[in-house]
Structure 1
């Protein structure tokens, strides 16, 4: 081993230390350059990450704004739908009420039709009865006017109790002492087609009974014949 006092040894040591120093400096330079590159890369990475985060935040804000808009629209549509449902329920209730009213009106119309049909049948029945009575009157007129000298007059009553057209049957040749004297029975037909005796001149006691029989038989000729007999019997008393 060389002595440290050897001048060559000192130079070698110095050279060795210088080489070591140069290597260290070179290593440190390389480390510094690597560190600088790493720092630069890191700064680029941080800037890129920052930009990405900013863009992501903006995108998220736009997304949230869109969601808030959708939520607001949804609330409005929900409110509108509730209002429409309420209006629909009211319309349905109104339709049901009108359907019920329609059924009631239809039933009333059917009832009116039935009543009208009954009234028409009653009118037809009364017309037939009146025609039968008119034929009886015509027959009675022929019998009594041509054979017994009876006169038939039409009169129009304006009193409060008896209104409308009435017939007067004027009998003559009742009293032999006064053949031209008039014996009168006034009668008409009620709304239901029943004969109605209004009065007689002179008054006959049995007139109500004769009227009742006439209403039961509708035989006007027999009624007039019986009235004439009553007038004759009363004139001979």
Structure 2
């Protein structure tokens, strides 16, 4: 019977508790929300503290003291919780809260003789106790932070559900705990007069600070390692791309030269075709004027047509070859862009835009842009730079002095990388 009753009470707690996804978001919720409502005299989480104080066999005597106390004490406790609900609370929640906190109501929670009302408070305390103990039993710092986040999630959950049933139960437990501290049943976290207790508190706080410092140090070390790995990979990729740049440029030049040859051949062959067509027209005219030579001219005409067909085939083949080589050139340029993370685009009649990518490890597609033009005196001038590089004037001065544009591009990429890595 008791086991079935406990199972039912745990089920009721699960109904009002935050779900798994909400619990796992505890750390994020603490970054987004004010922490005023989670603090209790220096405690990291109100609900973690309530679970530690009010659960387990050690709390049995304290619970029995409440169960056997004057009912007026419980009525006063309910009145204090109800006072915390504003009269203009939304959705008529003060009226709903009164049903849980006012004697003679069928939903009154503070009836120690009713195991399904009073027992719900004890069941919630035990649930929070399991949560608090899981934090203490965390095997490592990462798991400690994750489990601590679940306690924070409970703090945020009750704030999100202000004046509703879960908030009312939480406030009742909180005021009971405060009463226990006032009566000496619990030792408060702060305002202790005993020197040894203050020392113990300082030791506990120092331990929490050390845990957080260790966590922060591990996080920073991990992030530095990530940055180092990304930098090493980027440097290796850049070096490999540099080695391939010259090869791609030579291939581009060769393809351009072959393209010019193919175009010249095409022009020559088209001229031949035009000449053959002109000869064919002359043959047609002669065929009309010289009937005796018709057979010979017909044969010559057939040969000319065959020659035209062959020439057109040669021209078509040459055009296909040209298109293939142009495609190879395009693929080479695409490979250049993909491997090096650098694209060149002509802007207007006198500017060249350089677009760098693969710089920001968190967003490799992020574009870093620079527009350059050359003045009448053959001086390089940077028209725009996004984002701004403070060392850019010095880089431009070096470029104009050395005329080494490749070195300038590498220096600009390094400048953008410094902006990201700090």
Q: Give the TM-score of the pair, scaled to structure 1.
A: 0.35
Determine which structure has more spread, i.e. the larger CA radius of gyration: 1
Compare relative contact order (CA 8 Å, sep 6+) and give the higher one, 1 or 2: 2
